[in-house]
Structure 1
Amino acid sequence: MSADGGPVARHSPARAAVRENDTVRSSLEPAGAPEPIGSMLARNAARFGEKAAVRHRSGEGWSELTWARLALDAARLARFMEDAGLRAGERAAVISRNRAEMIVTELAVMGLGAVYVPIFAGYGTEEIGRLLEHAAPRVLFAGGPEELEKVPLDRRPEVVVDYSGRASGGAVPFAEALARAAFSDPGDAEVRRFLERAAAVDPFEPCLMMYTSGTTGRQKGVLLTHDNMLSQQRALSMLWDVSENDRFLSYLPWHHSFGGIFEKTTALYNGALLTLDDSLGKDFDRLLENWKEVKPTVYFSVPKVYQQLYDHVVTHPEQEREVFHEELRFVFTAAAPLPESISRFFADRKIPVLEGWGLTETSPCCTITDMAESRSIPGVVGYPIPGVAIRIAEDGEILVRGPNVMRGYFRDEEATRKALPGDGWFHTGDLGEFYGKALKLVSRKDRVFKLLNAEKVVPTLLENKLAGMNPYIRHVIVVGSGQDFLAALIFPNYYLIRERFGDDIERAEREVRESLRKTIEAFNAEHPVKYERIRAFAVVSRELTVDDEELTPSLKVRVKNVLDRNEPVIDAIYDPSSDCDCRFLRKVFRLVPDSRKCFLGKDKTLDQCHTCGRVVFAEGAPGVGEGSVG
């Protein structure tokens, strides 16, 4: 049931899916006509008025922005930016962690026909400088002094606005920028004129430039139009019954498409209450506190947080009713596969888990699973949303066509031609296949590699399988390009380990190690194809983080960066003569006998590393060795 008593689902994307040879499309079309973001603001301001649109922490309590106040502040900020020289088609950039002022800024910028450019506040000075040079904004908004300190002086535009009001150096406090407007009443004629102007913006003009997360290579600026963003909402309105009675709890970063377009716009478009979660998805205790207080009815997140909620309820069963409360209607996951055990856990509690697939370039959602299908199938990410068609090319690449596909990459004609070659389809770079009429993801094209015997390996399929077999695995990367066997780098789920074992490190290490060994053996037993079996694995005793550029802001693994940083581990697995780094390497396990001398530069009769002299090897069961750095 919906928050207002109606059904959760309207139309079934599975029933609407039509397959024609190598293409699957939705037989439904998005509701309504193309419109700009300003139309959404004008409509909801008139309809909801003093109803809260956004809620955020303020001291020990909560502060709210009503729809009337959103319209007023957007009009006032638009006046300030126009006086500062911002014109239609130009760009205004924002460097800040999620805060309510960003929504005002976005609505004001788009209402002027300009382009809103959110930039991740966690980037360092070099990356922020590079992105600002590329975007060339007329106006820059910053969360506070911490963000402004990372902006190179030669990359600062003339007009800089500080949300916190604490920055110096000529930055205009946000409150002052609003106050410079000569009007302060939601009913003022100036507000009405702004809303009329915003609603008249061409919906097919760009309104947002979002930088891709960049799991490989340098980031590109994706140009999205008003219709790109809202065609998706018009499509979702055919499938979901989200209303003004719903409550969203939002921590997903708004510089990324999952949070900044999909979640945030879904809440705003439907007039739901969007509550900002100040845990930022990192402080789980704070997230849990906010969850219990807000009691979201709809929740968008990545698998990491669902894993934490699952782990918490498993270890604290007395809190299950607080977490999986009766008003929670459905949850949505994306960015990475959700382990099957967690999907079943939610399903057993009658809470639908929806999954989707898409890219920043597709605004982002292209497919969505069906609420009526409770069984989760690994890799299957659903059916095309209304207005979207999916095709599988001869080489297995997924192609997309629909009103959600981007205009192109900003100032990058070569990349635009490659992604949009003129055949009417967007070339995603993902490999997939159809499972009936649903799309099943296989891998990124650039992750596929060959072993020494020329056998092709799709590591993501193996990684997803492994990650779903053991809750102690947070991340796993399968390696072996150009080698004669596969190995795995395992990054443990330290939250679960700490919850279960506390300070008993020796017991934790012993039991987790044994659990992982059994998982690898079970995985290999299920793989009749010998070259797909994992012959060695390393447990790396450090967590992957966004700050170290090992995870994207949406918590996807930056595989290239992780492999580069773990090169000593990989060398230790494959090259017996390589230098090991005992400070970095935690565990390496060789699961099969090898005719060569033992890895880490050891003879089979020795238990000492030749390179550094430390004892790092102990014989285990026949054919099993374990490296242990003390």
Structure 2
Amino acid sequence: MDVRRSFDILANQLEKFPKSDALAAKIDGQYMPLSTQQVQEQTDLVSLGLLSLGLKKDDKVAIISMNRPEWLLADFGIAQIGATSVPMYPSITVEDYKYIFTDAGVRAVFVADEKLYEKVKEATAGLDIPPQNVFTFDKVAGARHFSELLALGKQGKVADLVSLKAAVQPDDLLTLIYTSGTTGNPKGVMLSHDNLLSNCRSSSAAVPVGANDKALSFLPLCHIFERMVTYLYMIHGVSIYYAESMETIADNLREVHPSIFTTVPRLLEKVYDRIVAKGHEQTGIKHKLFFWALDLGLKYDTQKDQGFLYNTELALANKLIFNKWREALGGSLRCIVSGGGALQPRLARVFWAAGIRVMEGYGLTETSPVIAVNGYEAKDNMIGAVGPLIENMEVKIAADGEILTKSASVMKGYYNKPELTAEAIDQDGWFHTGDIGEFVNGRFLKITDRKKEMFKTSGGKYIAPQVIENKMKEDPLIEQMMVVGADQKFPGALIIPAFDELKKWATKHGVTATTNEELVKDEKVLHLYHDLTLQYNKSFAQWEQVKKIVLLPEQWTVETGEMTPTMKVKRKIITENNKAVIEGLYK
């Protein structure tokens, strides 16, 4: 079966390995599966239902929902009639929805639940989106339910879809994904069927799972990373089970026993921190054994055999300690794929040592997304790098260190923004990623910073803030951090402590402060973070060392507008919000 358009994935799965549990979600406390046949049938009903509403080729349809089977039914149903999906984060603002609805010219909306439905109602007021074209996946009073669209579809004829599907070409626009960006209005990235499917084909060799495996899905499907991986799972016959929420992942892992899941580094950091916190709760020999095993794990290196003694100790650590980690992650996990940001090398080392292979990759929405990924086999996996390039991917490093790439996966352009498209893709077809990088050992790509985030001090020295931040965030006492100092004499930093860990430290060290606001002003706490900064400064050149810090009491979040939905700091907004504090560092 030749998978040339996104919806061919369903026919391909039906032909090669029809599944009884192609997709599964929890309903009333139990995982309820949909077979491949059911997914295809319901997708057809979505297509026919949309046609009955008057939708046609090239129309835009929004999907606003956390992961569930209906998300994919809508996605494939939209694609089958040649229309374009506009997936959106459930966490963005009403103003963002209004902007995207208007910019994209959205004609219909799929929305998950009552809370999101109210946001959509507010955002669509005054826009040319008929209320009857808004469907909810949950039952919501006063709204049209998804089942009503399927009922409309039943009045149509599946045979009518044949010619419509045949008219969809690989180069047609499949999806319009608005990247949140760290400044300004979001940009609509135009991706064709072939953009995504070429990325699937080129990534296939790296996939370590097949038709007997299950995946747990919880990263938002509106993000290109999870969307492309979902297509890849389905092409390889992997069953997809959806986590109920980010809070229930631990329980869902134990229920589903997946072989694989994708994650962003922040979530993996939280898993690691929880495991270490449990280690601290142990006493006596159990405490000693835990931290002996952890120290071994922190020395692990995929590229180096560390000899008989280390390997023997590691085998013992796996029997005594790390086997419990694997059980906590479902007992069947073979690998974790990490993307969306830089992964702290210590996390990759420890999980690899524990028999859980971490495949860190790299890409952008504009590249559909994968450019490089570390392999499942140790020889193809370098901790601290983002892996070898996937097949059919060209990369070159520009004179200023920027990573440029060229492939069939590179976007068609930014919607309604030809001048921005021309800035991003040069006349020779090279896409400018905005990331600074290098090749290590000739084949492993390593990201060193974001080009736009680098700044100069008044002494003319370049500072790469992400490198400093990622290093210091390895400390369990640091939750969030942003390096500042453009055009100043030296780098400074805004630090948000990991307050749960800090409160434990405070109790042990006689600190009477209890609230976040009191803790960040306490002399002992300030000395602690000053000493931590001095310790990490040893890793950096003189001009890169953080000379002054400020502790802040409140976390940056998506809701406060200081983080993107993919948990990247919005430097411009944080700088504006803390203008007086930053100025105080340099007085």
TM-score (norm 2): 0.84
1:289 aligned partner: 251
Residue matched to 2:532: 519
Residues 1:551 and 2:563 aligned together: yes
8 Å contact 1:334–1:357 — kept in the other structure?
A: yes
Identify the range of structure 1 (291-300 vs 320-329) with the bigger mean alpha-carbon deviation: 320-329
Aligned residue in 2 for 1:252: 219
Structure 1 residues 289 and 474 mapped into 2: Cα distance closer, same or farther (>3 Å)?
Answer: same
Q: Which residue among 233, 249, 267 is the counterpart of 2:233?
A: 267
Of residues 128, 142, 156, the one that matches 2:97 is 128
* Counterpart-to-counterpart distance in 2, 1:242 and 1:156: 44
Candidates 376, 398, 401, aligned match of 2:403: 398
Offset of residue 437 of structure 1: 2.2
Structure 2: how far apart are the matches of 1:156 and 1:546? 28
- Percent identity (aligned): 30
Secondary structure of the 2:372 match is strand
- Match of 1:45, SS state, is helix
Q: Which amino acid aligns with 2:538?
A: A
- C-alpha distance in structure 2 between counterparts of 1:45 and 1:295, whole Å: 24
1:216-244 Cα offsets, whole Å, 9 max, x none, are 23210001011111111112222223212
Letter in 1 for 2:144: V
Gaps of 5+ in 1: 1-31, 185-189, 576-630
Q: Match of 2:21, as an amino acid?
A: A
CA distance in 2, matches of 1:62, 1:325: 16
Corresponding position: 1:366 with 2:377: no
8 Å contact kept, 2:174–2:193: yes
Q: Is the 8 A contact 2:455 2:463 kept in 1?
A: yes
Alpha-carbon contact 2:86-2:177 (below 8 Å) kept: yes
CA RMSD of aligned residues (A): 2.6
Q: Is the Cα contact below 8 Å between 2:58 and 2:173 reproduced in 1?
A: yes
Q: Does residue 73 in structure 1 map to residue 10 in structure 2?
A: no
Work out whether residues 94 and 141 of structure 1, in 8 Å CA contact, stay in contact via their aligned partners in 2: yes
2:311 alignment counterpart:
none
Name 1:313's counterpart in structure 2: 275
Q: Is the 8 A contact 1:409 1:416 kept in 2?
A: yes
Task: Specify the alignment match of 2:316 in structure 1.
Answer: none
In structure 2, what residue type is equivalent to 1:102?
Answer: W
User: Once structures 1 and 2 are overlaid, which stretch shifts more, 512-521 or 532-541?
Assistant: 512-521
Please say if 1:276 is aligned against 2:242.
yes
Which segment is superposed worse, 96-105 or 508-517?
508-517
Partner residue of 2:190 out of 215, 223, 227: 223
Deviations 1:498-533 (CA, angstroms, capped at 9, x unpaired): 688789974895886555333311222333x32211
The answer to whether the aligner puts 1:449 opposite 2:455 as a matched pair is yes
Is the contact between residue 39 and residue 199 of structure 1 (CA under 8 Å) also seen in structure 2?
A: no
Q: Secondary structure at the residue paired with 1:550?
A: coil
Segment drifting more, 57-66 vs 533-542: 57-66
1:479 aligns with 2:478: no
Query: Could you say if the C-alpha distance between residues 326 and 142 of structure 1 is closer, same or farther in structure 2, counting changes exceeding 3 Å?
Result: closer
CA–CA separation in structure 2 for the residues paired with 1:380 and 1:525: 22
Deviations 1:145-185 (Å, cap 9, x if unpaired)?
Answer: 322322231125122222223142xx43210110123379x
Match of residue 385 from structure 1: 390
Distance in 1, Cα, partners of 2:381 & 2:554: 31
Residues 309-365 of structure 1 show CA distances to partners (whole Å, capped at 9, x for unaligned) of 112222335853422454211111112222222222112112211111110000011
* SS at structure 1 position matched to 2:492: strand
Deviation at 1:195, TM superposition (A): 6.5
The answer to whether residue 205 in structure 2 is matched with residue 238 in structure 1 is yes
- 1:164 and 2:150 correspond: no
Query: Is 1:116 aligned with 2:85?
Result: yes
Paired with 1:513 and 1:289, the residues of 2 have a C-alpha distance of: 38
Q: Is the 8 A contact 2:397 2:438 kept in 1?
A: yes
Counterparts of 1:493 and 1:257, CA distance in 2: 30
* 1:291 CA displacement: 1.6
Change over 3 Å in CA distance of 1:349–1:125 after alignment to 2: same
Q: What secondary structure is seen at the aligned counterpart in 1 of 2:387?
A: strand
TM-score, length-scaled by structure 1? 0.79
The answer as to whether partners of 2:19 and 2:237 remain within 8 angstroms in 1 is no
What amino acid maps onto 1:384 in structure 2? L
Q: Report the alpha carbon displacement of residue 207 of structure 1 after superposing the two structures with TM.
A: 0.5
CA 1:106 to 1:533, structure 2 compared with 1: closer, same or farther past 3 Å? Answer: same
**SS of residue matched to 1:552:** coil
Write the letter of the residue equivalent to 2:539. E
Aligned to 2:264: 302
* Residues 75 and 195 in structure 1, CA contact (< 8 A), matched pair in contact too: no
Amino acid at match of 1:419: A
Residue deviations 1:287-321, cap 9 Å, x none?
21112212221011111211121122223358534
State how far apart, in whole Å, the 1-side matches of 2:349 and 2:392 are.
Answer: 31
* 2:340 counterpart residue number: 335
Q: 1:559 to 1:199 in 2, by over 3 A?
A: farther
Letter in 2 for 1:562: I
Q: 1:376 to 1:532 in 2, by over 3 A?
A: farther
Tell me the amino acid that sits aligned with residue 462 of structure 1.
I
How many Å separate the matches in 2 of 1:460 and 1:437?
A: 23
Separation (CA, whole Å) in 2 of partners of 1:497 and 1:47: 54
Deviation at 1:266, TM superposition (A): 2.5
- 2:116 corresponds, among 147, 166, 170, to 147
Q: Is the 8 A contact 1:487 1:534 kept in 2?
A: yes
Shift of the 396–487 alpha-carbon distance from structure 1 to 2, 3 Å rule, reads same
Q: 1:33, CA displacement in angstroms?
A: 6.1
2:55 alignment counterpart:
86
Amino acid in the other structure paired with 1:201: V
Compared CA separation, residues 191 and 423, structure 1 to 2 (3 A): same
2:282 matched residue in structure 1: none
| Contact 2:492–2:549, Cα closer than 8 Å, also in 1 | yes
